[in-house]
Amino acid sequence: MFKYKIYDLKIISNISLSDIEEYNFDSKEDIKIIANQYNNAKEIVKDSFIIKNDIFELVIKDIGIFNIVENNLNIYYFKETRNEEISLYILGTCIGYFLYKNNYLPLHGSSIYTDKGAVFFIGDSGYGKSTILNLFIKKNYKMISDDVIALKKINNEIIVFPSFPRSKIWKDTANKLDIEVDNLKQIYKRLDKFSYPIPKNLFFNSTTKPYIIYELLHYDIDKVIIEEVKNKFEIVKRLYKNTYRLTLMNNLKKNKLQFDIITKISNFIKFKKIYRPKNYNCIDELVILIEKDFLSD
């Protein structure tokens, strides 16, 4: 069996998770992954997702079936399915489900470490969260997480947990970062997303506190505007909206947890909106602006 620790969740698995380093522990696991090959791939004609009461079943055509019962994640993959494809789903929606179950609040966003604490980039898909993360990594900032930020309240404080040293990027981002796209593993065929490992020294493998949140927004303007949100109700609303997979949260009845963590974090967090033109391609400039903003704040 393989052992891992992701966002402080201890995992044992009969398959390896691609690019993730093993972590040894003796205590009881939080998640047990059992993956088996399934031969009736032809039976699955379309993707589906059922989450209801205690049932969690994610069916992805050409990849497999992900089924969660209590702490067990059972996977039925097909002969042609690649390990990194399975890993993508384990580390995405399935981990999201276990995060809620273990009282973490996941936000949809990326995060880097600074001396003052964690800087978050939240916003809708395709708005540049991962691109910005990768450009900061290039500037030697350490990554905390990509796509899912995990928060937990411990001793009345909000703590940010590190994910795993791996980043998802869009194809054009990879080009921009001078990484050979063809050498990367293409893991999410239909969405054209790519994943690549982050060097160990550029991964922040420890907990920290949230410091500042940037929400990325597209707008019909001709230059970048960074604007601080002072109204607490607005901050609460925007954090609510950027909570990861609200369906999972509602289903697991974690609304209280969400309310508790969001209102707690809104008390001290700096929250800024970044408006940028729709067809903006000076992303390097944007990164410089953001860096200047959080260094001077």
Partner 1 sequence: MISYNSIIHVNCNFISSEVDNELFLMSLENNAYYGLEDVGKRIFEIIQKPISFLEIVEILLNEYDIDKETCINDLREFLLNLEKENIIKISN
Contacting residue, 23, 62, 240, 284, with partner 1 by CB under 8 A: 240
Q: Is 3 in the site for partner 1 (CB under 8 A)?
A: no
State the amino acid at position 49 in one-letter form.
F
Each residue 129-148 as x (binds partner 1 by CB under 8 A) or -, in order, gives --------------------
Torsion of CA 124, 221, 237, 247, to 10 degrees: -20
Q: Is 156 in the site for partner 1 (CB under 8 A)?
A: no
- Of 77-85, 143-151, 189-197, 264-272, which part binds partner 1 (CB under 8 A)? 264-272
Tokens of 256: 């209280």
Contacting residue, 256, 278, 279, 296, with partner 1 by CB under 8 A: 256
* Least distance (Å) between residue 85 CB and partner 1: 35
Total binding residues toward partner 1, as defined by CB under 8 A: 14
Closest to partner 1 by CB, 264 or 272: 264
- Of 97-105, 128-136, 215-223, 254-262, which part binds partner 1 (CB under 8 A)? 254-262
Q: Is 260 in the site for partner 1 (CB under 8 A)?
A: yes
* Least distance (Å) between residue 248 CB and partner 1: 14
Closest to partner 1 by CB, 267 or 296: 267
- Of 77-85, 128-136, 261-269, 278-286, which part binds partner 1 (CB under 8 A)? 261-269
- Of 48-56, 156-164, 216-224, 249-257, which part binds partner 1 (CB under 8 A)? 249-257
Contacting residue, 221, 263, 281, 288, with partner 1 by CB under 8 A: 263
Each residue 208-237 as x (binds partner 1 by CB under 8 A) or -, in order, gives ------------------------xx--xx
* Least distance (Å) between residue 257 CB and partner 1: 11
The DSSP code sequence of the chain is -EEEEETTEEEEESSPPTTPPP----S--SEEEEEEE-S-GGG--S-EEEEETTEEEEEETTTEEEEEETTEEEEEE-TT--HHHHHHHIIIIIHHHHHHHTT-EEEEEEEEEETTEEEEEE-STTSSHHHHHHHHHHTTPEEEESSEEEEEEETTEEEEE---SEEEEEHHHHHHTT--GGGSEEEEGGGTEEEEEPPGGGB--S-B-EEEEEEEEEES-SS-EEEE---HHHHHHHHHHTBS-HHHHHHTT-HHHHHHHHHHHHTT-EEEEEEEETT---HHHHHHHHHHHHHH-
What's the CA gap between 148 and 162, in Å, rounded?
10
Closest to partner 1 by CB, 25 or 268: 268
Binding site for partner 1 (CB under 8 A): 232-233, 236-237, 240, 250, 255-256, 259-260, 263-264, 266-267
